[in-house]
Structure 1
């Protein structure tokens, strides 16, 4: 049986799971759970088909998952670290903090936007020393000094991807508390970041206390891996900060689909459910023609 992994357990992800499972695929939904769901933050959901009375976002979230579980969808709580092609380029290798998955198709259905620093230099040096993908760009920093901005498992994962290439790797927490155990070969700096500066390319980080750190590249890995970063790393086209899809939820990468808030447009449950259905059906159709 073909395997589909869906990243995100909100309305788009669960809708995609229902249609992919009904279409005969083995479906796993990967997410960080209720507490980090955008739907969970909604106090009341109303003006929605089939709901005569308002319902809390948390209750609707749980109802959706219960319905999907009844038809055989598996739900896994884990932090996504990377999405890559498998060795034969016939499917995908998805790596989480706790476990890894080999699947035939992936549907990205998480509304989490790419996080970045709100300091001078981030936008100005994008593509000129500021990067969001260590796996993609590590090769260009062979023998150089680089830094990863972040304090969690995702940041550590990016830093470790740079270690075989860079002469020195720093982990800059920007004042946040570390939530991952960092090996000694990665140097940690805890100061707040004030700016990224340089000439034609990044040359240094300036901290809030006036101290400076000279380096050649800065990799953003704040929080957890967001949908835009996930898609970009594997070659999916973007439309601003949104994943670009066709009318059926397909990206330009064969086997990779997206639905919901991560695709932009109307940020409503009805739209997310519709796009999830389209993506689930499109994924099943894709698997049948492989």
Structure 2
């Protein structure tokens, strides 16, 4: 831990309890895995084609990324100035807002685009966080943009008949229909393995970020049994709050077995919160 980080920890009145073991590559990987552009682009190909077409997909994605880059740069700048503040975006908003807006700002400060804030919640695990975390945010955003455009162009150049893609009869999913026409059903089976692994890694990254957020809240005494959940494992990881997040996710997943409407309502609410 650098001398500057030690001074800033003293300023905020606590010492980090999590082990600092994140390399710059891990901070970058956290952003890329949580952002996971493949999980957003591939399932929505049919809707994008029917709503705007190829031009909107290519340039619309670039336009949105240009706007989102401002958010990413803002987060990178703020995280470099507050590398050891508990609470992440909510605490940043509270500290930077005018006095009469501190409370409402802290309540709405967590509303952000998913993925780009993930390295902020790994500050405690990262050596020289004041420089490595901002780089992880910016480079992760750049990688996500490039990968997103590559995926979009790959899908578009794979379309031989737009009507067959808009009305998929083989798989029922436009993106899978494109790959079936390109590599056949056997090839799609291998691609589905890649997609599944990607979704799994995205979930792992999200679990990591969420467990860090839960640990931050537990250390602040934000919910019952905070002392229990604030304890870390032998390797300096928030094991208890991590397993709690897994249990909650499993309970939400079980709802799908009973009533799909409930799960759709929950996921829709999450989409609104993330966007």
Q: Which has the higher contact order (CA 8 A, sep 6+)?
A: 2
Considering fraction of residues, name the structure with more helix: 2
| TM beyond 0.5 | no
Considering fraction of residues, name the structure with more strand: 1
TM-score range, shorter chain: under 0.3
Normalising to structure 2: TM-score of the pair?
0.22
